[in-house]
Amino acid sequence: MDLILTKPICFFDLETTGINIAKDRIVEVSILKVFPNGNKESHTWRVNPTVPIPAVTTAVHGITDEMVANEPTFKELSKKVHDLIKDSDLGGFNSNRFDIPLLAEELLRAEVDFDMKKSLSVDVQTIFHKMEKRTLEAAYKFYCDKTLVDAHSAAADTNATYEVLKAQLDRYSDLENDVKKLADFSAHKKFADFAGYIGYDKEGKEIFSFGKHKDTLVTDILEKEPGYFGWLLNADFPLYTKKVLTRIKLSKLNTKF
């Protein structure tokens, strides 16, 4: 079953130096852009992360320091990547918890003002886990009856993810072929930031989801404890979390005038 789209959707996968969203870097990115008319456009780039790739990580994806030494940095690629995804929804495998947050960090680090306000995200892994609870290789075999060759290469994983989602739509009649419905179904608990430090209360207002101010309105704390905002900006939080906090603070200030 082909996806019913009202705007393009970019399926993407990252290979990285590790799994720390705030600190690790991209070493390979692959994007498959699918348009409403069914046309597809794909790009894969190796990336020089500018930091060493740990041996334990190379053992997973096979990319070494030597293989990326002469490749462009993500900052050099950032405009191409952003131009490709900025008009699109996003899709991936474990993308809501890992790929999108890490991509956001890299884009913001490259001074690209990335924001997901106008985009939906479909996490194919979440749909799979809710329906079958297995891995990408198992999902590919289960839904598509194919063996995933070159697992943990960005291009292979990206194309397999796209094929699995289409097969999921064929298999589950109660799974609606609508990107917004798929995004809602594949979402975990909703957060204002990607890393899960800022959540929402029942009225849709931002609250802290960690620490001594957990479940307290962000606007209340930023007003009562201005020093806390400064501490948050200087602490080791993801850049996107800091961006969201700054937006909340500025929006509160604007309502006073």
Q: What is the mean pLDDT of residues 126-131?
A: 89
Q: What is the mean pLDDT of residues 50-79?
A: 96
Q: Are residues 148 and 247 in the same domain?
A: no
| Residues 188 and 214 sit within 8 Å (Cβ to Cβ) | no
Report the pLDDT value the prediction gives residue 207, as an integer from 0 to 100.
Answer: 95
Report the pLDDT value the prediction gives residue 132, as an integer from 0 to 100.
Answer: 77
Q: What is the mean pLDDT of residues 124-128?
A: 92
Q: Encoding tokens for residue 244?
A: 């969201």
Task: Compute the distance between CA of residue 182 and CA of residue 124 in angstroms, rounded to an integer.
Answer: 9
Sole residue written with tokens 């900052």: 75
Q: Are residues 210 and 159 in the same domain?
A: no
Task: Compute the distance between CA of residue 166 and CA of residue 182 in angstroms, rounded to an integer.
Answer: 12
Give the CATH number of the domain where residue 120 resides: 3.30.420.10
Task: Compute the distance between CA of residue 152 and CA of residue 176 in angstroms, rounded to an integer.
Answer: 29
Residue 170 CB partners (closer than 8 Å, separation 6+): 1
Residue 46 has pLDDT above 90, yes or no: yes
Task: Compute the distance between CA of residue 216 and CA of residue 209 in angstroms, rounded to an integer.
Answer: 8
Q: How many domains does the chain have?
A: 2
CA angle 12, 137, 105 (to 5 degrees): 30
pLDDT digits (tens, 9 = 90+) for 144-166: 999 998 878 899 999 999 999 99
Q: Are residues 40 and 167 in the same domain?
A: yes
Domain that holds residue 136: 9-186
- Mapping DSSP onto H, E and C, the string for 66-78 reads HHHCCCCEHHHHH
pLDDT digits (tens, 9 = 90+) for 171-203: 999 999 999 999 989 887 788 888 889 999 999
Q: Are residues 145 and 215 in the same domain?
A: no
Report the pLDDT value the prediction gives residue 80, as an integer from 0 to 100.
Answer: 97
Task: Compute the distance between CA of residue 31 and CA of residue 42 in angstroms, rounded to an integer.
Answer: 6
73 or 21, greater pLDDT: 73
Q: What is the mean pLDDT of residues 194-216?
A: 92
Residue 35 has pLDDT above 80, yes or no: yes
Domain boundary among 165, 186, 207: 186
Residue 255 has pLDDT above 90, yes or no: no
Which of 48-62, 97-111, 239-253 has the lowest average pLDDT? 239-253
Helical pair 124-131 and 136-144, crossing angle rounded to 10 deg: 70
